[in-house]
Amino acid sequence: MLYLIGLGLGDAEDITVKGLEAVRRCGRVYLEAYTSLLPAGREALEKFYGKELILADREMVEQEADSILKDADVSDVAFLVVGDPFGATTHSDLVLRAVNLGIPYRVIHNASIMNAVGCCGLQLYNFGETVSIVFWTDTWKPESFFDKIKKNRQNGMHTLCLLDIKVKEQSVENLMKGRKVYEPPRYMSVNQAAEQLLTIIQNRRLQGEEPEITENKICVGLARVGAQDQKIASGTLHQMSTVELGGPLHSMIVTGTMHPLELEMLKLFSVDSSTFENNAFQRNA
């Protein structure tokens, strides 16, 4: 049996009882280690689970999946995913490979950033399409995510922005030379995401467009959701570019039309309560 097990968002103890029992039954336990980050760290997980964890990076999952599935038809293998196995990042390919090999599988769910964002008080059914904001480079600065946020805003919907993670990435030079030398991990902050959105707004204005999303749009910054030191901040997009939220992982929400209860909740986390109401109520239409 192949088990795909969600670990939740905070620490080792966030795994479900059902998930923990499955982990302890398995002969091999893989920890997916490239799409998210659990603050507890690998060692804490191993201690709590009583199992050695095999780190599964992008290369292993995407190019060597057969090694993960080896002997899973005659023994139990677990594949652990931070959050939920089918939350922000799906692992459908692994399931399809297992099915094609005649290996049964079972999914054990857990909390994901996709539903845990409700901690800020915005109602989940008022969210539109989720977007990913990627790190820009000197030669690649996509703006497609901005148009999706704009479309959500036109429909009155909030937008959850998942921020880029770069783990075990190679530089162009090392990639071209075939050298397996990896760059240090990078995790996009709310500040960086906000700065890129502000740059796009300026670009659109230079093109003669007045974007619906402006510097004064109410946004929400979230850091380490589910952990004990979770942090939430609400304010304008401009304020998001300077707010201090600490270490990774970060997410950001660009709000749509807000219910009065949503506004009341966001006020609890406002960066500057004196300006929050003016910006929120003027633009909540």
Do you find a cis peptide bond into 96, omega within 30 degrees of 0? no
Strands (E), the chain: 2-6, 28-32, 54-56, 77-81, 105-108, 131-133, 159-163, 165-166, 186-187, 218-223, 231-236, 250-254
The token duo for 51 is: 């199992």
Q: Is 101 annotated as a binding-site member?
A: no
Q: Is 261 annotated as a binding-site member?
A: no
Q: Is 87 annotated as a binding-site member?
A: yes
CA distance 45 to 5: 13
Q: Is 266 annotated as a binding-site member?
A: no
User: What is the DSSP track for 133-145?
Assistant: EPPP-SS----HH
Q: Which helix (H) or strand (E) holds 167?
A: none
Q: Report yes or no: 26 and 53 within 8 Å, Cβ to Cβ.
A: no
Q: Report yes or no: 118 and 112 within 8 Å, Cβ to Cβ.
A: no
Q: Is 163 annotated as a binding-site member?
A: yes
Q: Is 113 annotated as a binding-site member?
A: yes
Which amino acids are annotated as binding site, given as ranges? Answer: 9, 84, 87, 112-113, 163, 225, 250
Which amino acids are annotated as binding site for S-adenosyl-L-methionine, given as ranges? Answer: 9, 84, 87, 112-113, 163, 225, 250
